[in-house]
Amino acid sequence: MSTKGDKERIELLQGTLDLLILRTLRLGPTHGHAIAKAIEFTSDSVLQVEQGSLYPALHRLIKRGWISVEDGTSENNRRAKFYRLTAKGKRQLVVETSKWNKLAAAIAQVLRPAPQEGKP
Amino acid sequence: MTRRERMLHDLDEDIRGHIETETQDNIAQGMAPDEARRAAMLKFGNVTRVTEDTRDVWSWVWVEQLLQDLRYGLRMIWKFPGFTLVAVLTLALGIGANTAIFSVVYAVLLRPLPYRDASRLIVMNETTPRVGTLSVSYLNFLDWRKQSTAFAQMATVHQVGFNLTGVARPEVIRGLAVSPEFLAMVGVEPLTGRDFTAQEGNAGTEPVLILSYEMWQSHFGSDPSAVGKTMSLDGRPFTIVGVLPARFRWLDKMDVIEPLGVLLTNNTEVMERGNRGESIVVGRLAPGIGLAQARAEMDGIAARLAKEYPAADEGYGVEYKPIRDSFVGDSRPAILILFGAVLFVLLIACANVANLFLARGAGRTREIALRLAFGASRGRIVRQMLAESLIMAILGGTLGLAFAEGGIHAMARWIPSNMLSGTEVNLNGAVFAFVAALVIVAAFVFGLAPAVHSTKTDVQSDLKESGRTSSASAAQKRLGGALVVAEISLALILLTGAGLMMQSLYRLRAVDPGFRTERVLTMSLSLPDQQYGNDTAVLNFWQRALDGVRALPGVESAAVGTAVPLGGEHWRTDVVLEGMGELRPGDYPHPDMHIVSSDYWTTLGISLVRGRWFTAADDEKAPKVGIINALMARRLFAGSDPVGKRFMVGHRAKEEDWITIVGVAGDTKLYGLENPARLEVYLPFRQAPFGDMNVIVKSSVGSAALTSAVRAVVNAIDKDQPIAETATMEQLVSDSVATRRVTLVLLGLFSGLALLLAAIGIYGVISYSVAQRTQEIGIRVALGAQRSSLMSMILKQGLRTALLGIGIGLLAALGLTQLMKSLLFGIGATDPLTFISVAATLLFVALAASYLPARRAMRVDPLVALKYE
């Protein structure tokens, strides 16, 4: 029996990854490897996602209808799945971004008065 | 391929491609190929786990959980077989009764009619304020059809009857004479053969007919070569041109259909505008036209016709009914009331099962608290318990279907066919769907409250308590009490309904019908015009038949008459009294006319109020005489003696048409026991020869033997003359109250079941509470409480519950019995005596059900009770 705590932690990670994927795909449809690279690159390699965890996240987003998938050819002439942001996904990205900004602002607010306690 | 399969189909390849691309990137950055691959694999993570996680995104977690829950439910059900048996049986009774009644509801009220777009078909009759619904005059129909634009099509449908001759045993068959467009309009094609042609709507056409499917089966053994053969009807050869499909049915039972042209041939009567035979008009609304628009147009047409032909049409309007309503007839309220009643029974059954679950839930408090403590979510536990309810409901539903199957067979034999509108009641797809829905709804109704309730536990305290005596919480007692209160209220409503029906039927049967029914048999004969073209032939036939029947052994008296009380056929017409001024059409007295032989009244036991009956001397050569009924004497001859006064049938003013009144007969309930008497006039059959008569025989011989004896007499006179509609007067009376009787018996059955279930419910709740309080009671006894006071304590608990239920039930019953007003007779829907006696019955039953556990409480041994731990 999995405990609640476990689940919540995964939820949080998933949510963040979802946001990053959506944000990446806003620049145009691309394949899984390119998404991983883009996240790595745009976050200056700070956010190192285990690349495999991208795939459950991608499929979750497909299931929710936020992205769609199509066949395509990658830059090195490989057949690959291309993922594309849907209209619904674009709307969701706006929602998620503003949610994230609020959360970030709130956390920043909490951390500001006692910065010395913040870092482990 | 499902979406899930499609999505996962290329996953492996996608992942391989990803790793390959990463490897290439690494090589491009200067790594050795082996190292590049290893680094890529490392960066990707565990491929198997990623694949599984991705698959999980598409997997049906809830289905797997549901299967788990169902397995758990099945285990619980095997664990408590006694509990399961009681719950399943209770549910099976409720669901079975519902299934049986729903199959009637479906057959009569819901089953699609076998016509194309049946909701656009409207049945029209003519109507007058004085008489009510009437047939439609053929000439009026022609004008309607010509002038109406609201109806895309219109057809007339006449009822006709024939004597089927040229066969071993002649019989009466029923038919329709229809406009040739009729079948196409309702969207029915002959199974084999052809439809009527437009020419066959005109007088002078060759006699042809289309057989009903049943007639084709019974008389031609379903032989396809029947088409083209001939049938001899009323002595005329009809060519069979087609056979109707099995699904076709019409408002009345019918064996054949002939085209209108056959009916119109040599028929001068139908061409009189004032002649309203036995016909209705069926119209199909034009596209985009509603009934209201069509009605407005048709009312206008009728008003114009009334102006144009005042003698025939003044005061006549049009009555409209969607064809479904014409099929359902008067049984709709009775059927709906029974359906409501049976739903109540199911609710009571659900309440009882819910109480069982509650009681058992109390025993499982510890188990549930334990599971909650280990982190199970409340939702999951509720789901699990609901799964158990669902299994219980499915078992109950399955057993209920078996009950219903038996019940339907019993009902089909016993419910009069007119209550069922002639349709077949059976278990079919719609009924199964209903049962499936019922099972799911029932599972929630009885399962949800106890399930949710069981998870509202205080984990800490429940775990500390030893499982066995964990006391029922106050909330649980309230819920259990509320369920029993609901049961009692529902049972009270049903019992009140049954009580009112019982008294109605009793009062109805106590009504004096004005005639005696004992040992009287009636049958109907119809002499075809072709063979009996003149009055002498008709009179000879009836005289010989009467003489022959009178001579049969055991016959006390025999008569002929055009109508039998409560029988189907009636004839009414205007009469003019001597000295009466000129009235507006429609204001003349309009009595029921009977043409009878002299023994008619003695055979039926109708009383003579004044004057004399007809005698053999009142024949065609004697002066014209008539007898009126008491109501007509009172209403039209107030204060004076009608005997010796004269009247005339119709409006012809010829001296020889005057009829002298020689007697006054008692009133009869011609149109049903619940309906008031009407004006009646009797004429001697020798002075008004008529080919369609009933033979009425009072005899000491059983009806079967008498029927064949009468048939022998008739066939000795005319071997081709069939006998139809054989019935005893007792049957006719009994049939006339059949819908009420069936409603009463079923309602009685359901309310009895409701009472039993409610009693079990009270017993269960009180016993459970006594068991819970054993320890408390033991302490009370040890402290010197009187045993009698203990008993009254428990009885009071039962009494409180019962009184609350009775109070709520009485209020609800006051409202709901209004719905059955149309079924009541001679009693108000709020008859105080019924309400009081039903309430008293329920109170008594509730106290009796509390008495057994109360006595157990009284006998609690304090030592045992305190050691109970």
SS3 assignment for B351-363:
HHHHHHHHHHHHH
Nearest neighbour of B57 by CB, restricted to A31, A60, A76: A60
Between positions 4 and 63 of A, the ones with CB within 8 A of B are 4, 31-33, 36-37, 50-53, 55-56, 58-60, 62-63
The pairing of beta strand B625-629 with beta strand B724-728: unpaired
Helix axes B332-363, B474-509, angle to 10 degrees: 160
Report the gap between the CA of B47 and the closest CA in chain A (Å).
7
Nearest neighbour of B45 by CB, restricted to A32, A52, A69: A52
Whether B45 and A32 lie within 8 Å, measured CB to CB? no
Alpha-carbon distance values, A67 to A13, A31, A50, A89, B852 (Å) = 19, 12, 21, 6, 68
Single-letter residue type at B649: V
Whether A56 and B20 lie within 8 Å, measured CB to CB? no
Mutate which: B29, B54, B59, B380, vs A, most A CBs within 10 A: B54
pLDDT beneath 50: ranges in chain B = 466-470, 869
Give the pLDDT confidence of B771-793 residue by residue, as tens digits: 878 888 888 888 888 888 888 88
Rounded Cα distance, A24 and B489, in Å? 65
Whether A76 and B50 lie within 8 Å, measured CB to CB? no
User: Cβ contacts (< 8 Å) between B18 and chain A: which residues?
Assistant: 31-33, 36, 51
Closest chain A CA to residue B376: A1
Structure tokens of B111? 């089953």
Rounded Cα distance, B685 and B593, in Å? 12
A-B CB pairs within 8 A amount to 73
Bridge partners, residue B680, by sequence: B592
Report the gap between the CA of A86 and the closest CA in chain B (Å).
17
For residue A74, pLDDT over 90 is answered with no
Return the HEC string of B403-417: HHHHHHHHHHHHCCC
Report the gap between the CA of B445 and the closest CA in chain A (Å).
30
For residue A8, pLDDT over 50 is answered with no
pLDDT the model gives residue B768: 82
Report the gap between the CA of B1 and the closest CA in chain A (Å).
16
Report the gap between the CA of B70 and the closest CA in chain A (Å).
18
Whether B17 and A36 lie within 8 Å, measured CB to CB? no
User: Cβ contacts (< 8 Å) between B57 and chain A: which residues?
Assistant: 56, 59-60, 63
pLDDT the model gives residue B244: 95
pLDDT the model gives residue B588: 85
Whether A33 and B22 lie within 8 Å, measured CB to CB? yes
Whether B376 and A52 lie within 8 Å, measured CB to CB? no
pLDDT the model gives residue B716: 93
Nearest neighbour of A76 by CB, restricted to B7, B13, B24: B24
Whether B44 and A50 lie within 8 Å, measured CB to CB? yes
Query: How many CB atoms are located within 10 Å of the residue B199 CB?
Result: 12
Nearest neighbour of A62 by CB, restricted to B7, B45, B47: B7
Single-letter residue type at B50: V
Report the gap between the CA of A85 and the closest CA in chain B (Å).
17
Closest chain B CA to residue A83: B14
End-to-end CA distance of chain A: 32
Which residues, at least 6 apart from B776, have a Cβ–Cβ distance to it below 8 Å? none
Q: Is A68 on the interface with B (CB under 8 A)?
A: no
Counting Cβ atoms within 10 Å, is residue B368 exposed (0-12), middle (13-18) or buried (19+)? Answer: buried
pLDDT the model gives residue B290: 92
User: Cβ contacts (< 8 Å) between B37 and chain A: which residues?
Assistant: none
Rounded Cα distance, B178 and B160, in Å? 10
User: Cβ contacts (< 8 Å) between A62 and chain B: which residues?
Assistant: 7
Mutate which: B19, B21, B59, vs A, most A CBs within 10 A: B21
Structure tokens of B707? 């029927």
Structure tokens of B544? 């010989």
Q: Return the higher-pLDDT residue of B2 and A88.
A: A88
Report the gap between the CA of B19 and the closest CA in chain A (Å).
8
Mutate which: B4, B14, B42, vs A, most A CBs within 10 A: B14
Give the pLDDT confidence of B542-577 residue by residue, as tens digits: 999 999 999 999 999 999 999 999 887 678 888 999
Closest chain A CA to residue B49: A52
Nearest neighbour of A52 by CB, restricted to B17, B44, B376: B44
Beta-carbon-side half-sphere exposure of residue B177 (alpha carbons within 13 Å): 23
Place of tokens 């009081």: B836
User: Cβ contacts (< 8 Å) between B54 and chain A: which residues?
Assistant: 55-56, 58-59
Whether A52 and B24 lie within 8 Å, measured CB to CB? no
Whether A55 and B17 lie within 8 Å, measured CB to CB? no
Whether B43 and A4 lie within 8 Å, measured CB to CB? no
The pairing of beta strand B317-322 with beta strand B121-128: antiparallel
Closest chain B CA to residue A55: B54
Report the gap between the CA of A116 and the closest CA in chain B (Å).
34
Whether B14 and A78 lie within 8 Å, measured CB to CB? no
Give the pLDDT confidence of A107-119 residue by residue, as tens digits: 788 777 655 544 4
Identify the CATH number of the domain in which residue A9 sits: 1.10.10.10
Whether A1 and B11 lie within 8 Å, measured CB to CB? no
Mutate which: B6, B12, B18, B52, vs A, most A CBs within 10 A: B18
Beta strands in A1-120 (DSSP E): 30-31, 67-73, 79-85
User: Cβ contacts (< 8 Å) between B56 and chain A: which residues?
Assistant: 56
Question: For the residues of B375-427, what is the DSSP string, one character each?
Answer: T--HHHHHHHHHHHHHHHHHHHHHHHHHHHHHHHHHHHHHS-TTTTTTPPP--
Whether B17 and A4 lie within 8 Å, measured CB to CB? no
Report the gap between the CA of A118 and the closest CA in chain B (Å).
30
What's the number of domains chain A is made of?
1
Domain limits for position A52:
4-118
Whether B18 and A31 lie within 8 Å, measured CB to CB? yes
End-to-end CA distance of chain B: 62
User: Cβ contacts (< 8 Å) between A36 and chain B: which residues?
Assistant: 18
